[in-house]
């Protein structure tokens, strides 16, 4: 039996969890397996699906931008099959999915093959162009999000063929049905192969609470995302190949994964809208909205990458403006002026630090973080302040389950550890 599907079984039964490093959707084995006749799935940080047809291979996603990463996916595919890549489909323009073609293109040049046709949604190219304009920012936030140095790529292979809503093509007797949906991005494609009832979801399913809230990135679309998951489920897929994480086999499991994820998003949307329409502020909504516990407990909906709290913030931004509803935040005083005012009221920076340490010791690192940030805003050069701040953010990082929180808290801890020396 497939090693990957055995791992899926362990997650499904509760014997393993995505909260374990080895089962986190972005880690785990780098392994290619043929999961249906002619359909190979490469599981790594990001997944690649390769489909063998009588006219050559079709890739769904291409691997990551980093040369070491896309060499891995290239080698895995080539170990399985040596035929020409006829078509590559980008599920979306993220750099871990749509920037892995260079070794396939080099191979095509060497072997004098026609280069692959590249198919993607019409919004992929504008995204790639935006990434060139924001390469500095994206290098910074990706380094922060994942905790290792990233140099954002500025070279890309644009789609050679784009579509708007849906596109179907047939290659060597295999049909590929491409559907556009907004969700994690505005340029997503999910792919259905009707003969084998195989579904490639892109990042619309990733074995984690949906990445619909990412704190450092552009707008995500939870409403359309949920609808897309229901559209996928209506086709009764029997094999789900996600953008990250393990494959899911069997119609019943695939239905559960898709429909539970849709219901999870819909619940957050409804709860947020109800409060938004009743005049609640952003902070009131953040305090009250929670995913249904039965759904949050599903093995594929744990908040190990993004978090529901961040999804609510993105819904606030999607339905409204950026104003939080707290009037002093419309045109806030400079952080340093506010911080010095609070320090003076408290009786000095030391009092802020003291209280921060006490809150940390009492287990409320989240509240302590405000105090140490004010202390750092008031006295940015103080080693003592940064030592206290580092301890708070180290604790927040250790206590966080999601990649996003661990990344941002970890970066703050490292920053203050450096400044405390
Ligand atoms: Zn991804």
Using the mean position of ligand 1's atoms as its centre, give its distance from the Cα of residue 220 in Å: 13
Using the mean position of ligand 1's atoms as its centre, give its distance from the Cα of residue 205 in Å: 10
- pLDDT tens digits for 259-301? 999 999 999 999 999 999 999 999 999 999 999 999 999 999 9
Q: What angle do CA 389, 391, 395 make, to 5 degrees?
A: 120
Using the mean position of ligand 1's atoms as its centre, give its distance from the Cα of residue 291 in Å: 23
Of 133-147, 159-173, 282-296, 344-358, the poorest mean pLDDT is in 133-147
Using the mean position of ligand 1's atoms as its centre, give its distance from the Cα of residue 305 in Å: 11
Using the mean position of ligand 1's atoms as its centre, give its distance from the Cα of residue 230 in Å: 20
Q: At what angle do helices 308-319 and 251-277 cross, to 10 degrees?
A: 60
Using the mean position of ligand 1's atoms as its centre, give its distance from the Cα of residue 18 in Å: 16
Using the mean position of ligand 1's atoms as its centre, give its distance from the Cα of residue 52 in Å: 23
Is the pLDDT reported for residue 43 higher than 90? Answer: yes
Using the mean position of ligand 1's atoms as its centre, give its distance from the Cα of residue 54 in Å: 29
Three-state DSSP class for residue 35: strand
* Confidence class for position 71, pLDDT limits 50, 70, 90: very high
Q: State the pLDDT at residue 145.
A: 82
Using the mean position of ligand 1's atoms as its centre, give its distance from the Cα of residue 417 in Å: 31
Using the mean position of ligand 1's atoms as its centre, give its distance from the Cα of residue 92 in Å: 8
For the segment 309-337, the average pLDDT, to the nearest whole number, is: 97
Q: For strand 48-53 and strand 39-43, is the pairing parallel, antiparallel, or unpaired?
A: antiparallel
User: What does residue 158 show for φ and ψ, rounded to 5 degrees?
Assistant: -70, 155
Using the mean position of ligand 1's atoms as its centre, give its distance from the Cα of residue 199 in Å: 16
Using the mean position of ligand 1's atoms as its centre, give its distance from the Cα of residue 47 in Å: 8
Q: State the pLDDT at residue 147.
A: 82
Is the pLDDT reported for residue 148 higher than 90? Answer: no
For the segment 314-342, the average pLDDT, to the nearest whole number, is: 96
Is the pLDDT reported for residue 144 higher than 90? Answer: no
Q: State the pLDDT at residue 168.
A: 98
Using the mean position of ligand 1's atoms as its centre, give its distance from the Cα of residue 356 in Å: 37
Q: State the pLDDT at residue 27.
A: 92
Using the mean position of ligand 1's atoms as its centre, give its distance from the Cα of residue 62 in Å: 11
- pLDDT tens digits for 179-208? 999 999 999 999 999 999 999 999 999 999
Using the mean position of ligand 1's atoms as its centre, give its distance from the Cα of residue 232 in Å: 18
Is the pLDDT reported for residue 1 higher than 90? Answer: no
Q: For strand 56-60 and strand 85-89, is the pairing parallel, antiparallel, or unpaired?
A: parallel
Using the mean position of ligand 1's atoms as its centre, give its distance from the Cα of residue 420 in Å: 35
* Confidence class for position 217, pLDDT limits 50, 70, 90: very high
Protein residues within 5 Å, CB atom, of ion ligand 1: 96, 203, 243
Contact 30, 77 (CB under 8 A): no
Using the mean position of ligand 1's atoms as its centre, give its distance from the Cα of residue 75 in Å: 20
Using the mean position of ligand 1's atoms as its centre, give its distance from the Cα of residue 61 in Å: 10
* Confidence class for position 236, pLDDT limits 50, 70, 90: very high
Domains and CATH numbers, the chain: 3-264 (3.60.15.30), 333-420 (1.25.40.880)
Using the mean position of ligand 1's atoms as its centre, give its distance from the Cα of residue 363 in Å: 34
Is the pLDDT reported for residue 325 higher than 90? Answer: yes
Is the pLDDT reported for residue 149 higher than 90? Answer: no
Using the mean position of ligand 1's atoms as its centre, give its distance from the Cα of residue 106 in Å: 24
User: Cα–Cα distance between 171 and 167 in angstroms, integer?
Assistant: 13
User: What does residue 314 show for φ and ψ, rounded to 5 degrees?
Assistant: -70, -30
In the chain, pLDDT over 70 holds for what percent of residues? 100
- pLDDT tens digits for 338-390? 999 999 999 999 999 999 999 999 999 999 999 999 999 999 999 999 999 99
Residue 317, CA distances (Å) to 115, 188, 218 in order: 41, 20, 10
Using the mean position of ligand 1's atoms as its centre, give its distance from the Cα of residue 27 in Å: 12
For the segment 131-143, the average pLDDT, to the nearest whole number, is: 94
Using the mean position of ligand 1's atoms as its centre, give its distance from the Cα of residue 81 in Å: 24
Residue among 66, 92, 243 at smallest CA distance from 152: 66
Residue among 229, 203, 202, 226 at smallest CA distance from 214: 203
User: Cα–Cα distance between 304 and 313 in angstroms, integer?
Assistant: 17
Using the mean position of ligand 1's atoms as its centre, give its distance from the Cα of residue 93 in Å: 9
């Amino acid at each position: 039996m497939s090693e990957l599907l055995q791992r899926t079984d362990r997650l499904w039964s509760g014997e393993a969890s995505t909260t374990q490093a080895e089962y986190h959707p972005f880690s785990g084995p780098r392994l290619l397996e043929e999961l249906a006749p002619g359909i190979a799935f490469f599981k790594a940080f990001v997944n690649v699906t390769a489909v063998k047809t009588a006219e050559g291979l079709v890739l769904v996603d291409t691997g990551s931008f980093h040369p070491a990463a896309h060499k891995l996916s290239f080698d895995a595919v080539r170990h399985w099959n040596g035929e020409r890549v006829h078509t590559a489909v980008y599920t979306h323009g993220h750099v871990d999915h749509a920037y892995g073609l260079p070794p396939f293109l080099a191979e095509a040049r060497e072997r004098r093959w026609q280069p692959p046709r590249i198919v993607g949604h019409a919004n992929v190219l504008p995204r790639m162009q935006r990434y060139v304009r924001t390469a500095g920012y994206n290098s910074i936030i990706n380094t922060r999000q994942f905790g290792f140095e990233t140099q954002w790529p500025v070279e890309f292979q644009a789609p050679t063929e784009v579509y708007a809503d849906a596109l179907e093509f047939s290659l060597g007797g295999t049909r590929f049905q491409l559907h556009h949906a907004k969700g994690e991005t505005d340029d997503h494609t999910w792919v259905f192969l009707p003969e084998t009832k195989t579904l490639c979801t892109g990042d619309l399913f990733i074995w984690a609470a949906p990445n619909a809230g990412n704190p450092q990135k552009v707008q995500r679309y939870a409403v359309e995302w949920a609808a897309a998951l229901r559209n996928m489920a209506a086709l009764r897929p029997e094999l789900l190949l996600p953008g990250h994480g393990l494959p899911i086999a069997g119609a019943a499991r695939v239905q559960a994964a898709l429909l539970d994820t849709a219901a999870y998003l819909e619940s957050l949307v409804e709860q947020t809208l109800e409060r938004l329409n009743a005049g609640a502020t952003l902070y009131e909504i953040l305090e009250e909205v929670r995913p249904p516990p039965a759904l949050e407990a599903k093995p594929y909906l744990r908040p190990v990458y993004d978090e529901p709290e961040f999804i609510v913030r993105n819904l606030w931004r999607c339905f409204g403006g950026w104003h939080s509803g707290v009037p002093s935040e419309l045109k806030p005083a400079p952080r340093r002026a506010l911080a010095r005012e609070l320090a003076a009221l408290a009786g000095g920076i030391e009092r802020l630090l003291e209280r921060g340490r006490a809150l940390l010791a009492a287990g409320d690192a989240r509240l302590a973080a405000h105090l140490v940030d004010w202390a750092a805003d008031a006295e940015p050069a103080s080693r003592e302040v940064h030592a206290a701040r580092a301890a708070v953010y180290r604790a927040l990082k250790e206590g966080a389950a999601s990649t996003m929180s661990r990344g941002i808290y970890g970066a703050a801890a490292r920053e203050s550890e450096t400044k405390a020396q």
